[in-house]
Amino acid sequence: MVRVLHYGAEDLARTRFATSPLGHLVHGLHNGPCSHRSQLRERWWRSVRRNIPARAEPLLELINADPSWTPPFLLPASAEALAVVEPAIEEELERLRDTSKEQITADLERFDRDPRQVRVPRLVQDLRDGGSRPLRLVVDSAHALFTACLAGDWPDLRRQLRDDLAFRTQTMMTAGPGGVFATLHPSVTWQDQALLFAPPTDPIRGDTRGRGFVLMPCAFGRDSVHPVLDRSQPILIYSARVQPPDTGSAVSDSLTALIGAGRARALRALATGGSTSDLALRLSVSAPTASAHAATLRRAGLISTRREGHFVRHELTLLGDSLLAANPVSRRFSNK
């Protein structure tokens, strides 16, 4: 049965991307059906399971209490104000530390109504009893698990996620947000102001209410999508794209074809950041022209701008960095 989720213009306008080290940690530790379909996750798990710290065992038990579900408060959260966000694990754990008792209690209610009567971990009752100690144990355990099991592999995984985001953001710029959904999974389509989810998508509980989805690629996932709606910021977790093998050097500048020659030159000129004056100097253009280029790139979410005294400094966002990484330039297409 196809599941239909209203997803109108307001949702499309708020569609954005994010990555999550905490989400990968939880998914990698969760021994569910999606993990078993991922060869990457299985290889990773075989290599790190001996490293599980003893003090983190209660959290691992909670994560695996139900093979089909993970407590939502352990899932990643994204800053709504940013077009693209790449939080560090410390930032995500700080968000986890601030989770309210009411949110945790609501998330754990599933253990009461699950007809399969899964074994309830001791940590569930400790969290329900409240106080700061059980949640502090969760946060400390998650940090210990990340350090022992995922920190060494995270740079490589992050590169894979950036490659995926480069592909999706190029699609968004050429086909719009609605076109991006068609690239996530064969079971997902967008048409007539609605997202259609075909089986075997996870059950849909709730709606986006115009908030849009934060699209999160998962390197450990394989051939699946997971909409999560029962939270302040809906997320749609999907399996990260496996980069096809390189078939040779490109014969043209694909970034120029995508966003135009002027904007491509400006984006590359800001690869290491800089002020508007720096940009004008690097491009050999006037200050007003450089400012116009920066404004266009900022509106597209490719750079961010912050004021430093009387000057402004432009830096690449994750989207801009991903586009440059996916579209390396040869000497033929350099700014010089």
pLDDT in tens, 254-269: 777 777 778 888 898 8
pLDDT at 55: 93
Q: How many domains, the chain?
A: 2
Question: What is the per-residue DSSP string for 60-112?
Answer: HHHHTSSTT---GGGS----TT-SEE---HHHHHHHHHT--HHHHHHHTTHHH
What confidence tens digit (pLDDT) does each residue in 163-222 have? 888 888 888 888 888 889 988 988 888 988 999 888 665 667 778 888 889 899 999 987
pLDDT at 81: 40
Distance CA 273, CA 302 (A): 12
Let me know whether 155 and 278 are in one domain: no
Whether 249 maps to a domain, the answer reads no
Let me know whether 194 and 314 are in one domain: no
> Of 75-79, 177-181, 327-331, which has the strongest mean pLDDT?
177-181
In the numeric block, the tokens 């999508």 are attached to 225
Let me know whether 84 and 147 are in one domain: yes
Give the torsion sign (CA, 280, 283, 286, 289): negative
What confidence tens digit (pLDDT) does each residue in 10-65 have? 998 888 888 999 999 999 999 888 777 788 898 899 889 889 999 999 999 999 99
Mean pLDDT score, 116-139: 86
Domain span including residue 314: 254-328
Let me know whether 229 and 264 are in one domain: no
What confidence tens digit (pLDDT) does each residue in 266-318 have? 898 898 888 988 888 888 777 888 888 898 898 888 899 988 777 889 998 88
Let me know whether 108 and 168 are in one domain: yes
- 215, 239, 263: which is the final residue of a domain? 239
pLDDT at 255: 78
Let me know whether 260 and 309 are in one domain: yes
pLDDT at 114: 63
| Count of H-run helices and E-run strands, the chain | 16, 11
pLDDT at 227: 87
Distance CA 283, CA 267 (A): 11
- 239, 266, 285: which is the final residue of a domain? 239
Distance CA 211, CA 232 (A): 9
Q: Indicate the pairing of strand 214-218 with strand 235-239.
A: parallel
- 239, 263, 287: which is the final residue of a domain? 239
The set of residues, in sequence order, having a beta carbon less than 8 Å from that of 23 and lying 6+ positions away, is 75, 76, 216, 218, 237
Let me know whether 230 and 296 are in one domain: no
- Please calculate the CA angle 72-87-18 and round it to the nearest 5 degrees: 70
Whether the CB-CB separation of 333 and 256 falls below 8 Å is answered with yes
Let me know whether 94 and 216 are in one domain: yes
